Amino acid sequence: MSDVINNTIRNIAVIAHVDHGKTSLVDKMLFQSGQFRSGELEKLQGGQHGLIMDSNPLERERGITILSKNCAIKYLPEGATEAITINIIDTPGHADFGGEVERVLRMADGCLLLVDAFDGPMPQSRFVLRKALGFGLKPIVVVNKCDRPGARPNEVHGEVFDLLIELDAEEHAADFPCVFSSGREGWATLDLDEHAKNPSKDLRPLFETIIKHVPAPKADINAPLQMLITTLDYSDYVGKIGIGRVYHGNIKTGQQVCSIKRDGKEEISRVGKLYRFQGLGRVETESVTAGDICAVVGLESVDIGDTLCLPEHRVALPPVTVDEPTITMVFRVNDSPFGGQEGDKVTSRQIRERLEREQQTNVAMRIAPGRSGDEYAVSGRGLLHLGILLETMRREGFELSVGKPEVITKVIDGVVCEPVELLAIDVPTASMGPVMELVGSRRGEMLHMEQRGDTLTHLQFEIPARGLIGLRSRVLTATQGEGIVHHSFLKYAPMVGETPHRLQGVMIATEGGPVTGHSVENLSDRGALFVVPGDEVYTGMIVGEHNRDNDLPVNITRAKQLTNFRVSAKEATVVLKAARKLSMEAALEYIEDDELVEITPKNVRMRKRILSESERKRTERQGRDREAAKSNA
C-alpha cells in the first residue's frame, strides 16, 4: 500500500479543560469562515445562549459540552486557489465525559489544545493531552481568553511546555506552535506584542496555523475500504446513522459493505445514503474517499467501534478503547408509595431497554445485573456522567430509584486498589484553611499551591475517588459558594482508611400525607428541612437533616389542634425557615448506603431503602448480631 496525502482535508479535534472556551472558539471559526450570515447565526444560537455547537437542551441549561460534535469549515489559505476542508471535532471538557473524547480522537490528525490564559493547564487539560499524545497527535496550543483580567499568557505558555515534558511528549510534540486568542472576541495572533500595536480583528492566524501544522490525512485511496464508526446519530426517519472516518479506499452510495462488530461478529448490509459535513449540517454525496469524515445511513445495525469493509476483504481496524469506569450506582424500580404517579415508564423491562440503548452510544458506561431482577449496576466515569443519564431519563418520562455512588476497586498484585483523582480547587485566599482541612480529612494530599491574582489561590491534591463524593457541596459551603472544583482520574493506588460518611443524621417521616406548617415550625430547631408546607410525603421519606449524628423519626404531617383557649391568629406572624432544596446530583452525594434517591419527571426525593421504621430496626439488630458473631468466631 502506498500512502497518498489528501491535501484538501484537515481533521482536527478541539480539546481542553472545562470552560476554557472550546465551543465559543469553534462558533467564531464557523462564523468567520462565512458559513452563516449574522441573522442565521442568531437564529441557530437560540437567543441568549449564544453557542451553536451546544445544541442539546441539557448542554444549553448547564453551559457545558456533553456530546462530541462534528462540523466542517471551508477555508481558502493565503495565495491558494483551492479551498481546504477543515473537519472540526468539538469535545467535552469534563472528565466524566472522557469517553466521548477518547473515541473521537481516532478521527483526527491533529489537535487544538485550548488553555485559559488565567487558569493555565488544569486536570482535564492533562487528561485530554495525554490521550491525544497517545494517539500520536501533535498539539497546536491556543492560549485563549487573553483579554481576561489577570491573564498571564506568556507564563501559561511555559506551563504547557512543562506539562508536555512531564507527560514524556516526543520532541516534535514539545516543539509546538502557539496561538494567542480571544474566542469570545474572535481574534487570534502569533505575537502579542505585535497585536498590542496592530490589534488582530479575525482568526486568520489560527486558520493558517492549522493548515501549516496539522498534517493532511495519509491513506491509500486505491486499497480496499476500511472505515471506523466512532459516533452515532439517530433520525426518526432513517434510524441509526454511523459517523466515522474512512481510513482506506472509498465508500459509495448503494455499495454492499461488511460491518465487523467489536465482538468479531460480521453483518452484510448496503449503504443507503452518504453525507459529508458542511458547516453545522450535512450534504448528500455519492462517494467519500480515504481521509475524510462522513455519515452513513441505511446500515441494518451499526454501533460504535464497527469497521466497515468490503465483503471480499474483511479486515477490522483496531477497536475503540476507553478507560474503565471508576464509579457505580444501583438503578432500580421505583417502589415507593408514590411510584407510578408521575412517570409513564416505570417497569424494570423499560429501564433495562433504555440502559441497553444508552450503552450502544455511551462507550464509557457499563451495565451489569443487580442483586435482584429489578436492579441494575450502572458504572460510569463519575457522578456527573451518570447524573446526566438520570436527568435525560427523567425527562423522557422514567421513574426509578438509585443508590449511593460507590467507587470501583481493583485487585492489583493481590492488593485491593482504588481510583485516585487529581483534584484542583480555586478558592478565595481567605477560605484556603477550611478547604485544606476539609480535603485533608478525606485523605487528600496537597501537591501544589499557587496564588492567582490578588484574591484567589489555586490548590492541587491527590485524593481517593471516595473522598470526592459529597466534597463539592462542602467546598461551596466553606467558601460561601465561591470555590471552583475540578478533578480527573490519575491512577489506582492501595486502598487505605474508611470511606467518609455524612456527619449528620436525617429526619424521617413516620406518617404519610401533606406537610403542615405547624409541624415545620416545631421541627425547625431540630435541623434543616427539605420540604415545605403542602408537600406530600410518605412513611420512610427523608424530610430533613438532623442537627445530631443520629436519625430522627418525625411526624411532619401533624396538624395543630385548635381549642377554645387558643386564638387562630396568634401565629400569623411566624416566619418559617427556608427549606433546603437539593439538586439531583446533590441528593446522590448526600445519601448513605441504606438510602435511595427517588427520581421522577416532576420530583427528586430521598428515602430510606427500608421504609418501615420497625423493619429498619429489626434489620439493624440482625446486622449487629452478625457482626458480633463474626468477632466472637
| 111 close to 177: Cβ distance less than 8 angstroms | no
Residue in the structure block whose three cell numbers are 473521537: 104
302/633 Cα distance (integer angstroms)? 56
Q: What is the pLDDT of residues 489-511, one digit of tens each?
A: 888 999 877 777 788 899 999 99
Q: How confident is the model over 254-269, as a mean pLDDT? A: 88
Say what the pLDDT of residue 84 is.
87
In the prediction, which pLDDT does 572 show? 54
**Fold classification of 506-617 (topology level):** OB fold (Dihydrolipoamide Acetyltransferase, E2P) (2.40.50)
Residues of the chain with CATH 2.40.50.250: 506-617
The DSSP symbol for 137 reads P
**Residue in the structure block whose three cell numbers are 520532541:** 171
pLDDT tens string 126-180: 777 888 888 888 889 999 989 888 888 999 999 888 888 888 877 767 788 999 9
Tell me the backbone φ, ψ of residue 45, rounded to 5 degrees: -70, -15
- pLDDT reported for residue 89: 82
- The per-residue pLDDT for 96 is 55
State the pLDDT at residue 357: 83
Beta strands per DSSP E along 465-518: 484-494, 506-509, 513-514
pLDDT in tens, 182-213: 888 888 899 888 888 888 788 889 999 999 89
Residue 454 confidence (pLDDT) above 90: no
Going 490 to 492 to 498 to 499, the CA torsion angle's sign is positive
Grid coordinates belonging to 414: 493481590
**Which residues in the chain are classed under CATH 3.30.70.240?**
410-494
CATH class of the 410-494 domain in this structure: alpha beta
Instruction: Enumerate the CATH 2.40.30.10 domain ranges in the chain, comma separated.
Output: 220-309
Give the separation between CA 139 and CA 86, rounded to whole angstroms. Answer: 16
∠ CA(462), CA(97), CA(121), 5° rounding?
Answer: 50
At the topology level of CATH, where does 4-218 sit?
Rossmann fold (3.40.50)
pLDDT one-digit tens code per residue, 6-56: 678 888 988 887 677 777 788 888 888 765 544 444 444 444 334 444 444
**Distances in whole angstroms, Cα of residue 173 to Cα of each of 12, 165, 216:** 15, 10, 17
Distance CA 299, CA 256 (A): 10
Q: Exposed, middle or buried: residue 440 (CB in 10 Å: 0-12, 13-18, 19+)? A: middle
- pTM, rounded to two decimals: 0.73
CA dist 278 and 450 (Å) reads 44
Which pLDDT value is given to residue 54? 42
pLDDT at residue 59 in the model: 43
- CATH number of the domain at 220-309, out of 3.30.70.270, 2.40.110.20, 2.40.30.10, 3.40.50.880? 2.40.30.10
State the average pLDDT for the chain: 82
C-alpha torsion 398→403→407→412, nearest 10: -100
- Report d(CA 553, CA 100) in Å as an integer: 44
Domain(s) labelled CATH 3.40.50.300 in the chain stretch across: 4-218
